[in-house]
Amino acid sequence: MSNVVILGAQWGDEGKGKIVDLFSERFDMVVRYQGGHNAGHTVRIGDQTFVLKLIPSGILRPGKRAVIGNGLVVDPAALLKEIESLEALGLNVRGQLFISNRAHLIFPFHRLLETLSAAIGTTSRGIGPSYEDKIGRRGIRLAELLEPSHFADRYEALVEEKALIARALGIPEPDFGAIRAEYEGYAEWLRPMVCDAARLINEAIAAGQRVMFEGAQGAMLDIDHGTYPFVTSSSATAGGVCTGSGVPPTRIHGVVGVSKAYITRVGAGPFPTEDRGEAGDELRKRGNEFGSVTGRPRRCGWFDVPLLRYTSLVNGFDSLVITKLDVLDHLEEIPVCVGYRVNGQVTCDMPATCRGLESIEPVYERVPGWKTSTAGLARYEDLPGRARDYLAFLESRTGVECGCISTGPERNQTILRSGSRLESLLEDGV
Ligand code: GDP
Ligand code: IMO
Ligand code: MG
């Protein structure tokens, strides 16, 4: 029974939500393994649009189990809001959602601390400071919140450190007592959903069920492999699946990268193929490139082969899903970055520093556009020849097949290529 990872191959917002929702029909369980409510995964079903933040996109499929793994940081207030908004739409969230007892908590003072740290254009959800406490061995797990006396001790130790920071900075202390009471109040509604998720997932696998792992953010935002320090604070690459869910590598059979047919980035940080001119504005307009969580305009640019080769290297992509092909329909020619020029030499290597990435010069090849609508096409044969040539160009340069092509936000606006490695993974071949 093949278990498959679906993750972002660029800087996030690649269309993971749509793809996870579509493919989850074939799986029994969908597991998030990192991040928090900094994610915004959009799923359009008919005239309804859902934006999932902390809850796996699989929740939209009745009967499928959705799991928040130990690798996430959970803000209970944000979680409750998300649960209630989905329940108001008739979904049985509490019947399908399971949360790891080893996931860590986000507290309001994490959001406050974020406003004090270096501005890299974060989502201001308290994600980074919560992970800092986890790595600093001060963080608090959900399991600890559910044991009142244990929580009291752990909370006192945590806020002692926060009070020291407030005093050192000369800012007013948050009302730690009120926050504690608020969190103690969360314990009761959280309790029925909290479980040993690693055990739950591994038992499901042992019983022959199929599991899909849903990445948040994207490989270039990964704390280790991304454009540090302009990254998120979790492991958004395939390696994060094992640490963030408790499922061993031996139980994972395929890794699928989701990539736009171009590229976007929200927040600060290097972006070699960014187009700050009219062509970039047109991509933003046609692709409706505004953040699904913060509403911020996304920076837009051209497909970056060295970047994709790098994210493929660190994730081992079996296949790529290319989304938003339709956004390029208007172009006479499509620039594709095929290499980075460094000191006169062209390379596909990814620099390890932001300064290095900022100093490269992208080398472009211009691929002919197709200048006809691909919006909503669902059969590969129906794509214009030049659109197929564009995809073949990406395949040859990245070395990874384009197993699926998305031509619109709806489930049925998707082409799954027959005979692809992706098709075989989805059909449960290993
Ligand atoms: P995620 O974070 O990776 O799930 O992506 P987001 O939901 O933040 O952003 C992707 C946006 O593109 C959403 O508004 C989707 O509805 C939309 N979308 C996904 N696939 C396609 C596509 O193939 N074409 C178009 N035009 N829109 C798409
Ligand atoms: P999905 O799952 C795009 C970016 C932020 C910022 C950096 C750090 O929808 O693809 P953080 O709040 O995580 O500490 O911010 O990471 N970022 C995302 N960009 N898509 C996301 O999620 C993102 N989650 C965080 O804009 O640059
Ligand atoms: Mg998003």
Residues in the chain with pLDDT values less than 50 = none
For 86, 102, 112, 145, 147, the CA distances from 81, given in Å and listed in that order, are: 9, 21, 20, 19, 23
Beta partners for 304? 337
- pLDDT at residue 429, as a whole number: 62
- pLDDT at residue 292, as a whole number: 82
The DSSP bridge pattern shows strands 194-195 and 97-100 to be parallel
Residue owning tokens 């020849």: 385
For residue range 256-287, what is the model confidence (pLDDT) as tens digits? 999 999 999 999 999 999 999 999 999 999 99
- pLDDT at residue 430, as a whole number: 54
For residue 72, the one-letter residue type is L
Mutate to test the pocket of ligand 2, among 6, 14, 37, 38 (most ligand atoms within 8 A of CB): 38
- pLDDT at residue 428, as a whole number: 81
> Which sign does the torsion angle of CA 180, 181, 185, 187 carry?
positive
Nearest ligand 2 atom to alpha carbon 40:
9
Nearest ligand, measured from the Cα of 373: 1
State the architecture of 259-426 in CATH terms: Alpha-Beta Complex (3.90)
Which strands make up the sheet holding 333-342, listed edge to edge? 345-347, 333-342, 361-368
Nearest CA to ligand 2 atom 21: 217
Q: What are phi and psi of 115, to 5 degrees?
A: -70, -20
R_g of the chain computed on alpha carbons: 22
Nearest CA to ligand 1 atom 11: 15
Pure H helices in 146-277:
148-169, 176-190, 197-206, 239-245
Two tokens at 148? 């009142």
CATH class of 105-190: mainly alpha
Active site (catalytic) residues: 13, 41
Nearest CA to ligand 2 atom 27: 267
State which CATH number among 3.40.440.10, 3.40.630.10, 3.30.70.20, 3.30.70.1430 fits the domain covering 4-100+195-254. Answer: 3.40.440.10
Two tokens at 42? 């959009």
- pLDDT at residue 1, as a whole number: 75
**How do the domains of the chain map onto residue ranges?**
4-100+195-254, 105-190, 259-426
